[in-house]
């Protein structure tokens, strides 16, 4: 497969996976890979914000993306330093001025995200003001190629499971592939990467392995990305919010199949789904693909 990713998972990283012995359904000894999760406490300047359970592979991107998606950092905020101490499991984001977020901390609420993700009461404060690119397009040929490339990429999911993945894409090219024990962490890592590297959002596609919940829709909209794709299903509130924001919402995207419940005007049908299904069937018989 061509090296298209700017950044992708490294399942060979010894910090991320451990080998654990056990027994299988027949009582036979087995050894299997398990994902390593650890706490990471985030500080903004001198204030403790939250402790997250994470694989901690990109703490800088996770910290910045979390603060951006919780509206604790503005798009034009100047970050002067990000300091990570792996021994203390702490990451500190420092800005050039004092940030006022005490009210946000008082409004903290639990979300549906895995690994006890947290959001804040005013998470949607920017939601209504975001204008997503109306001229963005998703060709079905891009979608089919993207799902295949993502499914075939080496990942912690294929190595050990128990992980969520998110991928920032442009046309049929996957750019940044992040994984974590909580899907919200994977989203935040991508938001942090985009901020740090100055990537535009209006021409991007966001892919997630997780379900299309209100939280996923809100974060995608806040990031300014006009198209959200998942191989999983939808929640009713997620669909309602996507329609309100003008977000294209594509779910159950596996093989040649997908369902669009919002923003269908951006879909360009330029590929024959039957031909894709036949190609997938041939590939599975040869054992060259892992569909899910």
Does the pLDDT at position 222 exceed 50? yes
Taken as a whole, the chain contains a residue count of 292
Residue 79 is predicted with a pLDDT of: 94
Residue 292 is predicted with a pLDDT of: 40
At 98, the pLDDT band (50, 70, 90 cuts) reads confident
Residue 263 is predicted with a pLDDT of: 98
Q: Where are the domains of the chain?
A: 138-285
pLDDT digits 0-9 by tens, 163-201: 999 999 999 999 999 999 988 999 999 999 999 999 999
Q: Is the separation of the CB atoms in 109 and 120 below 8 Å? A: yes
Q: What angle do CA 49, 103, 95 make, to 5 degrees?
A: 50
- For 203, the 3-state DSSP assignment is coil
Does the pLDDT at position 84 exceed 70? yes
Residue 191 is predicted with a pLDDT of: 96
Residue 277 is predicted with a pLDDT of: 74
At 123, the pLDDT band (50, 70, 90 cuts) reads low
Residue 149 is predicted with a pLDDT of: 94
Lowest-confidence pick of 98-102, 217-221, 257-261: 98-102
Reference 61, options 166, 190, 155, 182; nearest CA is 190
Strands 90-95 and 79-85: antiparallel
Q: Tell me the helices (H) and strands (E) count for the chain, helix number first.
A: 8, 16
Under CATH, which architecture does the 138-285 domain have? 3-Layer(aba) Sandwich (3.40)
When mean pLDDT is compared over 27-36, 158-167, 269-278, the highest value belongs to: 27-36
- Report CA 6 to chain centroid distance, whole Å: 15
Q: Phi, psi at residue 71, to the nearest 5°? A: 60, 30
Q: What is the rounded CA–CA span in Å between residue 228 and residue 235?
A: 14
Mean pLDDT of all residues belonging to the chain: 87
pTM of the entire structure?
A: 0.87
């Amino acid at each position: 497969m061509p090296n298209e990713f700017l950044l992708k998972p490294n399942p060979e990283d010894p910090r991320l996976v451990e080998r654990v012995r056990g027994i299988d359904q027949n009582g036979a000894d087995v050894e299997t890979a398990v994902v390593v999760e650890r706490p990471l406490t985030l500080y903004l300047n001198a204030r403790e914000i939250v402790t997250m359970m994470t694989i901690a592979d990109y703490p800088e991107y996770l910290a910045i993306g979390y603060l951006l998606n919780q509206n604790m950092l503005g798009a034009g905020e100047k970050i002067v330093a990000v300091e990570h101490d792996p021994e203390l499991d702490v990451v500190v984001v420092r800005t050039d001025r004092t940030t006022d977020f005490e009210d946000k901390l008082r409004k903290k609420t639990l979300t549906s995200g895995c690994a006890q993700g947290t959001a804040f009461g005013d998470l949607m404060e920017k939601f209504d003001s975001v204008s997503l690119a109306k001229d963005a397009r998703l060709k079905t040929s891009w979608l089919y190629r993207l799902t295949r490339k993502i499914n075939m990429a080496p990942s912690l999911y294929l190595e050990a499971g128990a992980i969520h993945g998110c991928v920032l894409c442009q046309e049929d090219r996957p750019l940044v592939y992040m994984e974590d024990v909580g899907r919200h962490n994977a989203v935040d890592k991508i938001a942090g990467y985009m901020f740090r590297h100055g990537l535009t959002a209006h021409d991007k596609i966001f892919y997630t392995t997780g379900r299309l919940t209100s939280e996923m829709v809100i974060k995608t909209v806040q990031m300014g990305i006009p198209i959200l794709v998942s191989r999983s299903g939808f929640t009713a509130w997620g669909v309602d919010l996507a329609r309100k924001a003008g977000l294209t919402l594509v779910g159950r995207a596996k093989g040649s199949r997908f369902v669009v419940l919002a923003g269908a005007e951006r879909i360009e049908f330029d590929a024959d789904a039957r031909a894709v299904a036949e190609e997938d069937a041939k590939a599975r018989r040869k054992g060259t693909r892992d569909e899910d």
